[in-house]
Amino acid sequence: MTTARYRVLVCDLRTDTLLDVLPLHEVSVEDYIGKAGSLTGTVPTPSPDMAERVRPLLVPARTALWVERDRDIWWGGILWSANPQSDERGNIKVEVQAGTFDTYLEHRQLRTTHRARTTDQLDIARDLVDYAQAQAGGDIGIEYDTHLSGIQRSRTFSASDQPKIRELLDKLATAENGFEWRIRCYRDPDTGRRIKLLDLGYPVLAPEGDDVVLTHPGHLLTYAMPTDGTTVANVWQARGSSDNRNQTAASKPLLSELLVAEDDLADGWPRLDGSSDHQSVDEPEVLNNYARAEAALARRPQVIPEITVRLDEQISPDLLGRYIRLRIRDLWHPDGYDHRHRVVGINVSPPERGRSESATLTLESPYGSSPS
């Protein structure tokens, strides 16, 4: 079997100009739908020449890192931390940590009030990214397409709240009938250019393609299926902003409708309360919208399967959002487990001395996946 070749491209964040190609050891890269991904690794600097080469390149917050696997882009993001370390013999290595390009939006705030009236929610998301990139020094080359969801919303984002662009996108996406988003990295097949695409999916990001069938015994090296009941709630209410218009009275927060899953209580579930805070929301219907979406997610224990698989031609970052058919027969599943899951996270460990190449896939809860 031919060993895959990995390279790490070091680029200027704003222009994407290639600065160098560096060795990176002890690498782990991960990407997700619904949260930021990361890269960790170490850059060895065994000589004065290598130290001189590396020192000016690894500048946190202004350097982009791209991970290639056999010339295909498998990960892209921003260097946020570089930590040079010396051992007792004077050997130097630099630990690096980076986040996917969406982490840039965690460091950008809304400085002017933004209003949208009966606007498609995906266009509101694009407008927020446009705002971030229109400011001097703010353009890092995030691109997007123009498809729509058909869901129109009215929103006011106040500059006085100093909201982060990432937080606004996440809140918009998690509303009832919301969407999913990530920044997908790939190489343009025609031009070879590295692309950072604001990938918007309604109702979810679900690339086309046949289901990938993974079996245990077989493709799977290990699996885990933790079930968490600490987040379960069948009675839900959301809190919005406080009403401070009457200065002589104590302020009271806006409350959503109280949502009670009566059928769960009738079915024998204990009453379990949950709540959420949306301090910038001052419109009752918008708050009710958030509450309904959150209540629906909280009604059942969260099952977040993780499987570790050998890398072959079926496994790549393009699996994010796609469905797999997971088939297991073992001591825990003597009658067989056969379910369809969507891939919502991928963590890749390149081959190292004494370690083969593998990938860990995070799967959507069965309650969130399509029927098997």
pLDDT digits (tens, 9 = 90+) for 98-137: 999 999 999 999 999 999 999 999 999 999 999 999 999 9
**Residues making up the chain, counted from first to last:** 372
Q: What is the pTM of this model?
A: 0.87
For the chain, give the mean pLDDT.
91
Helix (H) or strand (E) holding 183: strand 180-187
The pLDDT, as a whole number, for residue 2 is 61
Other Cβ atoms within 10 Å of 245 Cβ, number: 7
Give the model confidence (pLDDT) of 265-311 as tens digits.
Answer: 999 999 999 999 998 898 999 999 999 999 998 998 888 899 999 88
Q: How far apart are CA 257 and CA 253, in angstroms?
A: 13
Q: Sorting pLDDT into bands at 50, 70 and 90, what band is 371?
A: very low
**Euclidean distance between CA atoms 351 and 130, whole angstroms:** 39
Q: Is the pLDDT of residue 370 over 50?
A: no
How many angstroms separate the first and last alpha carbons of the chain?
34
d(CA 316, CA 226): 24
Q: Tell whether omega for the bond before 350 is within 30 degrees of 0, i.e. cis.
A: no
Classify 210 as helix, strand or coil. coil
Q: Which two tokens stand for residue 111?
A: 């400085």
Which of the four pLDDT bands, split at 50, 70 and 90, describes residue 247? low
Q: From the DSSP assignment, how many helices (H) and strands (E) are in the chain? A: 5, 24
What residues does 31 pair with on adjacent strands?
346
For 155-177, the pLDDT digits (tens) are 999 999 899 999 999 999 999 99
**Dihedral over alpha carbons 284, 289, 294, 299 (to 10 degrees):** 100
Beta strands in 49-179 (DSSP E): 63-69, 72-86, 92-100, 114-120, 142-143, 152-157
- Residue 357: pLDDT above 90? no
CA dihedral defined by 294, 297, 301, 307, rounded to 10 degrees? -120
**Domain locations along the chain:** 6-101, 108-201, 212-228+302-363, 235-298
135 sits in which H/E element = none
Neighbours of 367 (CB within 10 A): 12
% of the chain exceeding 90 in pLDDT: 77
With a cut of 90, say whether residue 251 has pLDDT above it.
Answer: no
Tell me, what's the pLDDT at 312? 85
Q: Is residue 64 scored above 60 in pLDDT?
A: yes
Return the number of other C-beta atoms located less than 10 Å from residue 131's C-beta.
Answer: 18
- Count Cα atoms within 13 angstroms, Cβ side, for 310: 11
Which pLDDT belongs to residue 372? 36
Class of 108-201 per CATH? alpha beta
Which class is domain 6-101? mainly beta
Taking the C-alpha atoms of residue 64 and residue 18, their distance in angstroms, rounded to an integer, is 9
Q: How far is CA 66 from CA 201, 338, 362, in A?
A: 24, 36, 22
